[in-house]
A = this chain, B = another copy of it.
Amino acid sequence: MDLYFNAYILKMQWSKKHIISIKDFSRAEIDFVLEKSARMEGLLASGKSTKLMSDKILATLFFEPSTRTKMSFEAAMLRLGGRVIGFSGVSDTSIEKGETMLDTVRMAAGYADMIVMRHPVEGSSRLASENVDVPVINGGDGANQHPTQTLLDLYTIKKQFGKIDGMNICMVGDLKYGRTIHSLVDALKMYDVELRFISPQNLKIPAYMTKELKKSKIKFEEREDLNVQGCDIVYVQRIQRERFPDPQEYEKVKDCYVVDLGVADMMKENAIIMHALPRVTEIKHEVDETKNAKYFQQARNGVPVRMAVLCLVSGVDF
């Protein structure tokens, strides 16, 4: 009875809400999405068709290129019986003629029932959400937030281990610029986890984040060597050329960690390797066939999670 009531209350809070930052959500709200995502995955697996979003249009506004996030949102919307309009990259759009981001988003809000957007400027999704009357989902705003990535990361962990509490999670690579890592850490702060940060000296996790972790009483360690022993999850973060102000800084560190069969062997029996993809050289292809490699399944999890998110923001019951 209480549980049912809670779910009802949570759904009400979700209804028509924008998804801008994982920080906007409580643990209860996140757990609610994960539960709903599992229901969506069951629905997908059953092969039954859903019409939950029929007659609804999603606008995918990708001011910055993306394949994975865009195709995954599109697949989610189509699996729900909905339809999609949008653009990818600004070379073919009015932005080239000097239109502001806000005008473009306002225009799209006149055509669609909800918007997912990616834009290079931090805070752009928040600004957009405050100026239109349809739900806005942040599909990445520069180095800042990418909340549905975090939700699918958490979903992947929970699906694998049945829980998030108690996990020992190791993050490897660019912990300074990697927004995926920042969002995930923001969410994990609300759980009872242990963290290990492995990065070169100049790509350490920001000091303000370790400060917050201490405040949240999350146990963590920082190190430079690729020691993943004892971890349940190894989350590899690509070192992204495009986030580096100085290309020389990038060249110095780009290949500093490579997860190969040796590293995989070092891991616990049922530990998993995650990666937001695209992967370049930081995980060797030989690792793909190991039972630890979960990054392709992780990407696949984006569909049920985004299906759940699309329904929740538009107040569709399921």
Contacts and interface: CB of A to CB of B under 8 A. Distances in A.
A300 B296 CA distance: 37
Contacts of A247: none
Contacts of A165: none
A300 B75 contact: no
B99 A88 contact: no
Given A97-B240, A240-B97, A78 B57 contact: yes
A94 B68 contact: yes
B67 A278 contact: no
Contact of A278 (B55, B99, B277, B278): B99
Contacts of A91: 65, 89, 91
Interface in A224-252: 240-242
A92 B89 contact: yes
Contacts of A108: 71
Number of copies: 3
Contacts of A285: 100, 102
A302 B85 CA distance: 15
A74 B67 contact: no
Contacts of A97: 240-242, 278, 280
A303 interface: yes
Which interface class (under 10, 10 to 19, 20 to 34, 35 or more) fits A?
35 or more
Contacts of A87: 67, 71, 88
B92 A85 contact: no
A110 B297 CA distance: 8
A96 interface: yes
Contact of A110 (B62, B96, B103, B299): B299
Contact of A59 (B54, B71, B98): B71
25 contacts: A49-B54, A49-B55, A55-B79, A62-B92, A66-B94, A67-B92, A67-B104, A71-B87, A71-B111, A74-B85, A74-B111, A75-B111, A75-B112, A89-B92, A97-B278, A98-B278, A98-B280, A99-B278, A103-B279, A104-B278, A106-B296, A107-B299, A110-B300, A111-B300, A111-B303
Q: Which 8 pairs, one residue from A and one from B, show the smallest C-beta to C-beta distance?
A: A110-B300, A99-B278, A75-B111, A94-B278, A49-B55, A65-B92, A98-B280, A67-B93
Given A74-B85, A75-B85, 6 more contacts: A65-B93, A65-B94, A67-B87, A68-B94, A89-B92, A97-B278
